[in-house]
């Protein structure tokens, strides 16, 4: 026999050795709620109705003051803040690199303009010296 057949042939490992069907019947048997159950449910419903009539900021403040503030969503806040700061830093660094490149381009164009003007002036002086040398 295998382990499954052996297990099915003897009583299950219940509390008093009763079969599985009896354990299920006992677990699913109807039982009366505690005497305070109805009163507690109605009190909670009344509390929720009163809270829903408050504006959102008053509910938030009562949750914070009553230490019922849901901290679970806030556990990701530091990680999200770090990601936002990192992405913002990268965007700013790229912007600065672009501005620096444009500034260098403007400086290069200005240097080329100055060089062009100086070369024209020098060429004009050379031409003037050559024409004055050629004339007796």
> pLDDT tens per residue, the chain (136 residues)?
444 444 444 444 455 677 899 889 888 888 888 889 989 999 999 888 877 777 877 777 776 666 665 666 677 888 999 999 999 999 999 999 999 999 999 999 999 999 999 999 999 999 999 888 877 6
Q: How far is CA 28 from CA 8, 22, 31, 104, in A?
A: 22, 10, 9, 81
Q: Do residues 22 and 13 touch, judged by C-beta distance below 8 A? A: no
- The residue ranges of every structural domain in the chain are 34-69, 76-136
Res 113: pLDDT? 97
What is the pTM assigned to this prediction? Answer: 0.40
């Amino acid at each position: 026999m295998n382990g499954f057949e052996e297990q099915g042939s003897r009583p299950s490992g219940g509390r008093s050795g009763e079969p599985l069907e009896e354990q299920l019947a006992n677990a699913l048997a109807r039982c009366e709620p505690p005497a305070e159950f109805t009163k507690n449910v109605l009190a909670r419903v009344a509390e929720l109705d009163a809270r829903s009539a408050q504006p959102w900021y008053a509910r938030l403040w009562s949750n914070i003051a009553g230490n019922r503030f849901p901290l679970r969503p806030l556990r990701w806040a530091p990680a999200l803040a770090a990601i936002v700061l990192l992405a913002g830093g990268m965007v700013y660094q790229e912007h600065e690199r672009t501005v620096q490149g444009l500034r260098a381009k403007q400086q290069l164009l200005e240097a080329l303009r100055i060089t062009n003007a100086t070369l024209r002036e020098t060429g004009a002086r050379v031409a003037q010296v050559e024409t004055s040398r050629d004339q007796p």
